[in-house]
Amino acid sequence: MRCLYAAIEYAPSATLRDDAIKHVRDPLMFRSITQLCDSTNWDENANIGAKYIRVMRNILKLPPDQGTESVDNLMHYELIAIVIQKVLSQIIDKMKKDIQLTERDQVTIYEMSLTFFVVIQ
């Protein structure tokens, strides 16, 4: 996840950044990344959920020259919604049991909030 994040956020040029986003948007790559993270059960110690959402938030952003989302990318939204539900359910379970939230949990909530903001935009 760190490598994907670095390829997008710290790309040396806008073209390379767009290429990285395009490759992650590819349905096969997108599903593979999601399955790999899911195989860890969204490990809270490694904060996989927050890292995944941070990377995928870039995938959800529409390019300025594109007015609407293509129907092909709706699968991405569905998978991200499922991930958000899984990761937040772990945090909600802690809250129900009166377990104090860790800094990782707070980072996850922050990343989720930013992602919701992108979706609303």
pLDDT in tens, 78-120: 888 999 999 999 999 999 999 999 999 999 999 999 999 988 8
64, pLDDT greater than 90: no
Contact 59, 24 (CB under 8 A): yes
* Interatomic CA distance for residues 101 and 26, integer angstroms: 35
* Location of structure tokens 């990344």: 33
Give the contacts of 25 (CB within 8 A, at least 6 positions apart): 59, 73, 76
pLDDT at 75: 83
Structure tokens at 10: 């710290």
Give pTM, 2 decimals. 0.84
DSSP class of residue 71 equals G
* Interatomic CA distance for residues 45 and 26, integer angstroms: 28
* Location of structure tokens 């989302």: 69
* Interatomic CA distance for residues 50 and 34, integer angstroms: 13
* Interatomic CA distance for residues 121 and 117, integer angstroms: 6
Say which residue, 110 or 76, is predicted with more confidence.
110
Contact 44, 90 (CB under 8 A): yes
Q: Could you tell me if residue 61 is left (phi over 0), alpha (psi between -120 and 50 degrees) or otherwise beta? A: beta
pLDDT at 94: 92
